[in-house]
Chains A and B, each alone.
Chain A
Amino acid sequence: MLNYTIRRLLISIPTLLFISLVIFLLLDLAPGDPMSSIPLTVPPEVKEKMREALGLGEPVHIRFLNWLYQFFVVEPQVAWDHLFGTDFAEGKQRIISFQSRSPVMTVVAERMPQTLWVVGLSYVIGILIALPIGIISAYKQYSWFDQIGTFISMIGFSIPTFFSGVLLIVVFSVILQWFPSIYDTTHTVTDWGSFWYQVKQMIMPVSVLALYNAAQISRFMRASMLDNLNQDYVRTARAKGMSEKVVVLSHVLRNSMIPVVTVIALGVPTIFGGAIITEQVFQVNGLGQMLITAIYASDAPMVQTLTFIFAVLIVLFNLIADILYGILDPRIRYD
């Protein structure tokens, strides 16, 4: 397993380099100009100067290599300096956002907590809801519980978050006025009152996303449980005289978790990607929203860096899912 992991990690290096190249070229070829929001009164020569100041005067390959150097050497050094108080990155050029002229990584670090809190929490809640629903639905297939569970999953699947999000805002913010319609990122939790406010502003975005996640995972869980409930070894377990609880939770559930765990692991990178639409609807200042604004502003370094981080996470969690598969299922051997 260790050899396999190391091998996979080594393979992922050229993969990621290639991905970064593709992203870079795509962004370079894409229409859009970081100068487009500069007033027309600014003369073209000045604009040209500004463009050069952003480093856009260099040819593509130089810019790409520059970015690689900044991402893989300078930024880790900055992080190291920040953690241990050293000064390796002293005076070196970091990846700078075209919009804010501040280092991209600093902005990412600022935005990350909001996204992780809102989207991550919704993912965790979604899983916690989905697993019991999937298990009970499968165990009591075609019961009223299963029918209602299926119905709710279909709603979660088919209603897009920009609709359910707005619907919740209309009902709970406008009509009932229970929750604020906009997520206040600057809010800090200092006492019970402010904590309660934080909870209130998180309820709506979290529940919109949790419904969406739960719908998917509960379907996977149900299907996987149904697959296993009819297996012969379940009958064996009953013939052994094991209690129903042991049969379902220890025999069936453990075997059913194999595909579900993989699905859950593969879904984790999307948390970091943020829920772009939901973050927009509730004005959560997260990574998803940052990506959208960066795309609008043709902020190539920001888009490049963010997209690449997502790519790294996806490759990483693919590997984690594969390793989990090997751990959970003794039939799978990687060596």
Chain B
Amino acid sequence: MLDDPKVSKILVEVRDLKMHFPIHAGVLKKRVGEVKAVDGISFDIYEGETLGLVGESGCGKSTVGRAILRLYDITEGSVKIDGIEIGHTPQPDLRTMRPTMQMVFQDPQASLNPRMSVSAIIGEPLDEHTKMSKTEKRAKVMDLMDQVGLNRDFANRYPHEFSGGQRQRIGIARALALNPKFIVCDEPIAALDVSIQAQVVNLLEDLQGEHGLTYLFISHDLSMVRHIADRVAVMYLGRVVELASREQLYAAPKHPYTQALLSAVPEPDPWIEDKIERVILQGDVPSPANPPKGCNFCTRCPQVMEICKTDEPPTFEIAPGHVTACHLYSATNTESVS
């Protein structure tokens, strides 16, 4: 939540990140192809800001989040967090770096070990990464529970005894335990009902203010992203198609996909709702195992051109801090940033 993100330090630097999952088939389980879940994306996250990552289901949002934290072994590319390259660090060496980068998971029910009490779940990272005494740990756990608004008396209860919102608070407290700088929020509100969503998002914002956290906020909820994010990246089929500040993106979306996506947001006023011209996309998302040639969006783009079907669009900076990958803007701005 800084006024001008440009002046602050880059905390996370992602370059040409690719995450391909192999497909094995046949009697001998030969590798016959790969799902290109994330296919060459680059962006920076500045210290203290929230980068929203939006896109439809299956476009690779969650994979990006997990790949950045190296919960996967990435196929290609570089990830720098706090100046340290972790793109290809072997998993055992990564463990010592985990305290800097944490994740809040999508499904608060499944992502908590059902056999561990809340205090054990929150306190476990402390056993591994700190040399606190038992009382210090206990105090820290209690402090974290206070911060996320959980009653201290619940410390010895088990995850199944909580409501969805409370469980997500446990997940957040757990992520905060090691004082991370960077937290990936992987659809933290998708599994919660609307009244609880606001609580959790506000909690995340409060915590960001208190601890100076940096978020990558992954969501398919455009209005929620508008509420929390400073800058927004839009993904389609494993690629970032547009990246801009929140104001720029919501006011003047440039990429046809972003335009279609934003036009799908329902309007609360029924009079306006009736008059909205929606961009309705035809067809389905192509399989990431077999993406189309050229621009990934060319099969469904309402403004498709010949060049889109042959050449992959480079990234154009059409305004300061507003980049998009679309051939429509090659004429207006020839300066390529990638």
| Chain A residues within 8 Å of B, Cβ to Cβ | 142, 231-233, 235-244, 246, 251, 254-255, 328-331
Task: Check A235 against B128 for contact (C-beta < 8 Å).
Answer: no
Contact of B13 with A by CB under 8 A: no
Report A-chain residues with C-beta under 8 Å of the C-beta of B129: 241
Q: Are B113 and A233 in contact (CB under 8 A)?
A: yes
Determine whether B299 belongs to the interface, using a CB cutoff of 8 Å to chain A: no
Give chain B residues whose Cβ lies under 8 Å from the Cβ of A246.
128
From 22 to 60 in chain B, residues with beta carbon under 8 angstroms from any chain A beta carbon are: 29
Closest to B66 in A: A235
Map CB proximity to A onto B276-292 as digits: 1 under 8 Å, 0 otherwise.
00000000000000000
Cα separation A239 to B94 with both chains bound (whole Å): 10
**Which among B101-109, B226-234, B248-256 touches the partner chain?**
B101-109
**Closest B residue, CB atoms, query A254:** B115
Q: A242-B124, A246-B128, A329-B115 are in contact. Are A232 and B110 (CB under 8 A)?
A: yes
Interchain nearest-CB distance for B98 vs A (Å): 3
Query: Could you tell me which residues of chain B, from 129 to 179, have a CB within 8 Å of some CB in chain A?
Result: 129, 158, 160, 171, 174, 178
6 A-B pairs with the lowest CB-CB distances in the bound complex, closest first: A241-B98, A232-B110, A232-B111, A330-B158, A233-B113, A240-B125
Known: A235-B105, A330-B158, A330-B160. A241 touches B113 (CB 8 A): no
Q: State whether A236 and B111 are in contact (beta carbons under 8 Å apart), knowing that A242-B128, A330-B158, A331-B160 are contacts in the complex.
A: yes
Partner of A329, one of B94, B95, B103, B114: B114
Shortest Cβ gap from A84 to chain B (Å): 44
Assembly CA distance A303 to B97 (angstroms): 66
- Is B110 in contact with A231, judged by CB distance below 8 angstroms? yes
Known interface pairs A236-B174, A240-B125, A242-B124; 10 further A-B residue pairs with C-beta atoms within 8 A, sorted by A's residue number: A235-B71, A240-B98, A241-B129, A242-B128, A243-B92, A243-B128, A244-B91, A330-B115, A331-B158, A331-B160
Q: Which of B94, B95, B97, B112 contacts A233 (CB 8 A)?
A: B112
Are A237 and B114 CB-contacts (below 8 A) given A232-B105, A232-B107?
no
Annotate B71-89 by CB proximity to A: 1 below 8 A, 0 otherwise: 1000000000000000000
Please name all residues of chain B whose beta carbon is closer than 8 Å to the beta carbon of A142 when the two chains form the complex: 29
Cα A251 to Cα B113 with chains together (Å): 7
Q: How far is the CA of A240 from the CA of B183 in the complex (A)?
A: 12
Which residues of chain A are near B125, meaning CB under 8 Å?
240-242
Q: Complex formed: what's the CA distance from A146 to B133 in Å?
A: 41
Is B238's CB within 8 Å of the partner chain A?
A: no
Contacts of B71 in A (CB 8 A): 235, 238-239
Q: Which residues of B contact A232 (CB under 8 A)?
A: 105-107, 110-111
Q: Are B96 and A235 in contact (CB under 8 A)?
A: no
B181 to chain A, nearest CB (A): 14
B111 touches A241 (CB 8 A): no
Q: How far is the CA of A241 from the CA of B124 in the complex (A)?
A: 10
Alpha-carbon gap, A21 to B202, bound state (A): 67
Segment 297-332 of B: residues with Cβ below 8 Å from A: none
Whether B188 is near chain A, meaning CB under 8 Å from some CB there, is no
Residue B200 lies at the interface, judged by CB distance under 8 Å to chain A: no
Q: Does A243 contact B95, Cβ atoms closer than 8 Å? A: yes
Q: Which residues of the partner chain B approach A235 to less than 8 Å between Cβ atoms?
A: 66, 71, 105, 111
Most chain B CB within 10 A, of A241, A244, A246, is at: A241
CA distance A328 to B103 in the complex (A): 28
10 contacts between A and B (CB under 8 A): A236-B103, A236-B112, A239-B71, A240-B98, A240-B102, A241-B129, A242-B124, A255-B113, A255-B114, A331-B160
Closest A residue to B29 by CB, please name it: A142
A115 to B56, CA, bound (A): 64
A320 CB to nearest chain B CB (Å): 19
Does B17 count as interface, using CB distance less than 8 angstroms? no
How far apart are A11's CB and chain B's nearest CB, in angstroms? Answer: 27
Bound complex: CA A231 to CA B94 (Å): 21
Evaluate whether A233 and B110 lie within 8 angstroms (CB atoms) in the complex, with A239-B102, A241-B95, A241-B96 already known. Answer: yes
The verdict on B69 contacting chain A, using a C-beta distance below 8 Å, is yes
Instruction: Compute how far the CA of A238 lies from the CA of B124 in the bound complex, rounded to whole angstroms.
Output: 11
Contact A241 B114 (CB under 8 A): no
C-alpha gap A328/B96 in the complex (Å): 31
Within the complex, the shortest CB–CB distance from A226 to chain B, in Å, comes to 16
* A242→B98 CA distance, assembly (Å): 9
Q: A335 vs B101: C-alpha distance in the bound complex, in angstroms?
A: 42
| A239 interface neighbour in B98, B114, B117, Cβ under 8 Å | B98
Asked whether B128 lies within 8 Å of A240 as measured between CB atoms, the reply is yes
